[in-house]
């Protein structure tokens, strides 16, 4: 008998085999963080059990093994993003730290009063606030390209905001609040035409759509491991080698130096110049295992599976009276953001929770998006490779219950 692959994939995720309030767990909060396959958990456990040591400095066998595993993980990330070289891969805490690194190192070094940074109206706070900080420090000005009612970037308006004053364009690849997939190739091309550098926030893209930084030609790309079936506390900043080479360090400390005297310090080569202090070794090794896991299934296969689920779910919720989707872009990844007439999103979340269905309710760290749609918050169901049609059915049944309670 043919078993759909998703039921095999589910077996790889121990956390899914539990009940919540006596109901099977239906985990639909993957945009916040995804669950971890046993291979990732096992890889981290083995790291601590078998070869925990500090990297890049020990002369002993364990340190060499830890260093090899840490650097092998970097190679896996380079392959995952199709970077030219592992020197372009900087391990950071997450997407947030990746953006802050670029704002503080690249931005602070090049921005002059009157220069402009262009973002979009659908950014996560982590791709807004770091730019506001660097604007205050340098006198640069933050510009925001608008979105339409469907939650798509208004491309003509974006183009109009570009000028020779634009030094940095920072845009989300996939919106966490709306699900919109941005036309990032065109964004990069138009931005480069005026001489601006481009950072893409890939937090919601890397787990759900294929990413090729050479094809995109973006200058920086940031994502978090924990949304990609990897550990928390580890993420990646990709940067073009020539840019990273020219940038000053973000933080000072051990590992990022070659020679230190009290008079001056010679910085280390890439990417170590940007990795001050003992890194999250176990996290990087775990992320490497997560990338292996994803590669084993295939990101294209995952994208197709999630896209089918999104279509199924979009149709299913369209039958629920008073429910309105927030974000109806033509190109969307597996995120369903919605509001229901007369019900606060937090009440939706609570009622669903008691049915075992985990979603998120809130502003999704994208308050300007909530303002744009004049809602205080939305309820958001977000998919991962292990979600099934039955999960969507449970969501819809839960939403009917919400309707009963408030109807």
Catalytic annotation, residues: 365
Residue 203 sits in the site that holds ligand PMP (CB under 6 A)? yes
Residue 120 sits in the site that holds ligand PMP (CB under 6 A)? no
**Contact with ligand PMP (CB under 6 A): which of 12, 77, 94, 151?**
94
Q: How far apart are CA 265 and CA 208, in angstroms?
A: 42
| Binding segment (CB under 6 A) for ligand PMP, from list 73-81, 122-130, 184-192, 236-244 | 122-130
For residue 143, what is the enclosing H or E element? strand 141-145
Nearer to ligand PMP, 279 or 356 (CB): 279
Longest CA–CA separation in the chain, Å: 72
Nearer to ligand PMP, 180 or 403 (CB): 180
> What is the smallest separation between the CB atom of 333 and ligand PMP, expressed in angstroms?
11
DSSP 3-state of 322:
coil
Nearer to ligand PMP, 305 or 380 (CB): 380
Residue 180 sits in the site that holds ligand PMP (CB under 6 A)? no
Residue 176 sits in the site that holds ligand PMP (CB under 6 A)? yes
Residue 367 sits in the site that holds ligand PMP (CB under 6 A)? no
Nearer to ligand PMP, 221 or 272 (CB): 221
Residue 126 sits in the site that holds ligand PMP (CB under 6 A)? yes
> What is the smallest separation between the CB atom of 209 and ligand PMP, expressed in angstroms?
13
**Contact with ligand PMP (CB under 6 A): which of 6, 28, 95, 287?**
95
**Contact with ligand PMP (CB under 6 A): which of 104, 204, 355, 403?**
204
**Contact with ligand PMP (CB under 6 A): which of 12, 152, 201, 306?**
201
Q: How far apart are CA 356 and CA 339, in angstroms?
A: 20
372 Cα distance to chain centroid: 22
CB 269 within 8 A of CB 349: no
* Per-residue CA distances from 404 to 21, 207, 321, 351 (Å): 20, 35, 11, 11
Nearer to ligand PMP, 203 or 247 (CB): 203
| E-only strand ranges, 62-123 | 89-92, 116-120
Q: How many CB atoms lie within 10 A of CB 360?
A: 20
Q: How far apart are CA 163 and CA 226, in angstroms?
A: 36
Residues that bind ligand PMP (CB under 6 A): 31, 94-96, 124, 126-127, 172, 176, 201, 203-204, 224, 365
């Amino acid at each position: 008998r043919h078993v759909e692959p998703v039921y095999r994939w589910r077996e790889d995720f121990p956390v899914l085999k539990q009940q919540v309030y006596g109901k099977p767990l239906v985990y639909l909060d993957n945009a916040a963080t995804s669950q971890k396959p046993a291979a990732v958990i096992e890889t981290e456990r083995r790291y601590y059990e078998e070869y925990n040591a500090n990297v890049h400095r020990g002369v002993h066998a364990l340190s060499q093994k830890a260093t090899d595993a840490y650097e092998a993980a970097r190679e896996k990330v380079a392959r995952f993003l199709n970077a030219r070289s592992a020197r372009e891969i900087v391990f950071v805490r997450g997407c947030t730290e990746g953006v802050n690194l670029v704002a503080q190192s690249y931005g602070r070094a090049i921005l002059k009063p009157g220069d402009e940074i262009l973002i979009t109206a659908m950014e996560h706070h982590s791709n807004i606030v770091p730019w506001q900080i660097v604007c205050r420090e340098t006198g640069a000005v933050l510009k925001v390209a608008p979105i339409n009612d469907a939650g798509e970037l208004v491309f003509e308006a974006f183009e109009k905001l570009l000028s020779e004053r634009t030094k940095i364009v920072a845009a989300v690849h996939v919106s966490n609040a709306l699900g919109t997939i941005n036309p990032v190739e065109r964004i990069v091309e138009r931005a480069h035409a005026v001489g601006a550098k481009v950072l893409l926030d890939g937090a919601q893209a890397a787990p759900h759509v294929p990413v090729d930084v050479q094809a995109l030609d973006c200058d920086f790309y940031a994502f978090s491991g924990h949304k990609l079936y990897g550990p928390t506390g580890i993420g990646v900043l990709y940067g073009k080698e020539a840019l990273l080479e020219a940038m000053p360090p973000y933080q000072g400390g051990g590992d990022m130096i070659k020679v230190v005297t009290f008079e001056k310090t010679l910085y280390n080569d890439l990417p170590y110049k940007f990795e001050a202090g003992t890194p999250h070794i176990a996290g990087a090794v775990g992320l490497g295992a997560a990338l292996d896991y994803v590669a084993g299934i295939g990101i294209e296969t995952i994208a197709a599976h999630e896209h089918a689920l999104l279509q199924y779910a979009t149709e299913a919720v369209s039958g629920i009276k008073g429910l309105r989707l927030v974000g109806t872009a033509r190109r969307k990844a597996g995120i369903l953001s919605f509001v229901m007439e007369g019900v606060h999103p937090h009440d939706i979340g609570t009622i669903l929770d008691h049915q075992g269905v985990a979603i998120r309710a809130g502003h999704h760290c994208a308050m300007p998006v909530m303002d744009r749609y004049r809602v205080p918050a939305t309820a958001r169901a977000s998919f991962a490779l292990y979600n099934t049609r039955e999960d969507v059915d449970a969501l819809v049944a839960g939403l009917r219950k919400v309707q009963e309670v408030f109807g």
